[in-house]
Structure 1
Amino acid sequence: MPEETEAASNSGSMDDKPGSSSAVAANSSVDVMVEAKKLIGAGNRHLVMGDVVSAVNVFQEACGMLAERYGDTADECGEAFFLCGKSLLELARIENTVLGNALEGVPEESSEEGAEGEKPDSSKFESADNLDDDDDDDDDDDDDEGEGTAEEKESEEEVGNLQLAWEMLEVAKVIYKRKENKEDQLMAAQAYLKLGEVGAESGNYSAAVEDFQDCLSLQLKHLPPHSRLLAETHYQLGMTYCYTGQYSQAIQHYSNSVKVIESRLAMLQEVIDKAEGEDAAKEEKTELEELMQLLPDIAEKVEDAKESQRTASSASVAIQQTLAGASTSSASSSAFAENGGTSAFGASPVPVRSAADGTSSKSASDISHLVRKKRKTEDSPLKDTDAKKAKQETALNGSGDSDPASNGNGVQEKEAQEASC
């Protein structure tokens, strides 16, 4: 019994020691958070210095540590995920800019020339006729399998920075939005803002507008009317609406951005006027100068949007007039075709007198009966002697027919044949 009591007391003392499992877990949690805070601070410094690549690496390391310790959607991961997504967005923009500059001035035929230049190198390889067919087939199969595996791995590993940025910002948005305090709600608004920028950068303007609108609704709820964040969101909405050709909405948001900046300038000027001493209100003076330089640029955006709206309206009117003119001309041409003899576009019929008037009942343009008669004469199976006999009989009988009507028809046929010749 005394031994059991001593063992129990020893076990209790072991639980209370700093080296126990619970104490180690608590200490490790504190250590992870402290280390993550250090990494986040280093990443922010890299962003200030413009070293976006280093910032992304540091933020990703912090995200991995926090996610492993607390879980992907834990509250502790919000800041790291947001900053990592923001940095990835900046990195994607830099890469797109560099790629665009690199492609400028490159002729399209360069790839074709390169392909042609590579053709002579193929002669250096051995011909397939000199190789064993069985071995060649086996090697081809192995190569195909190896290439397929490599391509599958590359497709799995290749994820663009914009996609990664969207994933990070989406998680950060979920983390911040579920908390109801003002600070976290404003961070959710910033996550929406960056998500909108990701959508605009990738060309998904409808999603970008939706994210910007969600950001604006949260900001209007928690920010004063002269906040620069409101001006930025209105500006982003104006640009996105311009991309989609919705110039009325673009002008509205650009104008709202100008109004916010003007109210901000008035507030800053009031603070500066109340300050005493030359060194007072330095930050306000610096911000005032920045906004004074920014305001003309936004005003120019408003004028550009108005000009684009006028141009689009004029183009729309011109297109409608062109389509209306085309439909009118098609309708008039069909009317000409229906009216027949009233226009040069229709075929005017030739008036033909009836057989009672002593003329042919066939149209003047129809010479098929003459062709048939001539064909019969040419293709007649009678010999020359038969033809001579027929002529002699005709000469002996006079007109060849005592019927005057038949004589008249013969004259008409002769006249018609002469006319056709």
Structure 2
Amino acid sequence: MFGKKTITSLVTAPITQNIALIRISGSQTYSIVGKIFDRSLPDYPQKKPQLIFGKIINSQKEIIDEVLLLCFYQPRSFTGEDVVEISCHGNLFIVNQILQLILENGAELAEKGEFTKQAFFNGKLNLVQAQAVNDLIRAPSLPAAQLALHNLSPETQKELEVVENELLDIIATIKVNIDYPEYDGVEYLTGKTALSRLNKLLEKLLIIKKESKKARVYQEGLRVAIVGQPNVGKSTLLNALLQEDKAIVSPLAGTTRDIVEARYNLNGIPLTLLDTAGIHEDENIFQKIKNKNHLVIINKIDQENKLQLPNDICSAENSCFSHKKILKISAKNQQLAELEAKINELFASDLINNISPYPYLSQETYLDALCGDLEVSYKLVQELSGKEYNEDLLDIIFSKFCLGK
């Protein structure tokens, strides 16, 4: 496994640039670097990272480049292995020459996510933190990056351990109750008392599930369709949100024939807005969306003579459309502040300013059956903590990382 494998990769983008960074990680790191570097390396091991200036040379002692080495020693590195990061000039010809020398001397080219995978197997990261690394790299906004950093923090991981330890304590207590009923030194659990403790855990898990759904909005974004009758100002609304003339606007109904797609960042939430052609027959449109996240926008309030609520909204069978979901605006006059606040409330509930301490990811029963279910739950929580894992699943997860991570 990783103890015998030394991997390398270009960490920075594969383009011509001022400086490029090549990472090597594994048990043979210093042996390999010693063969291609013209200076002696620090005595092994060192407690702190060491920075060394020198030259990369080939087997004929020809100089390939002048570089800086940043040397880390296990376990005090990102991967938990010996690591050297080579800062060289960003000419791709030079970069490839250095990589080739490293490979010729015993390293293997890293696969996607393999450095982070090393860190996982060496106990430097659990699975939640590993995914947070990828989320941080791919974050489309500052709030998305903040959520990823939240998952990386040790304090957040402690909350996951609380759930894990509580599950383990319940399982252990039940096992003692079943196998050693005469033992007096352990709490006696009935199905009812166990359920009470489990309900408290369930509350925490439901918070994690709910907050995770909101957090994914910041990372993955949303597709939002602007739907309505012809000439109600859908294209004007799109242009107002984008602050540019993306869609053609005309006083004539039916100007928009095809869907106009545009990207828009709303307080850190990536939205894909879809301006659609007008719907002439919309008797059922409100019934179709009433169970989905939606807002009913009454546009053109600057033209009072045109302001009229559709009968669909006013009818008794559509009483589900509360006033909280109906908003009056003038897109032409840029009256959008309340609309943006409503969208944020609808999909994310101001998650960034109210982050829970948890990471982002019932009835009476027989105790022996309950214990089996709890062991499954405990194993799943341990998988998140990195103490148990399915290797095939990990291969899929880490393959989605970018090269050099």
TM range (shorter): under 0.3
More strand by share: 2
Structure with more relative contact order (C-alpha pairs < 8 Å, separation 6 or more) = 2
Q: TM-score, normalised by structure 1?
A: 0.19
- The structure whose Rg is larger is 1
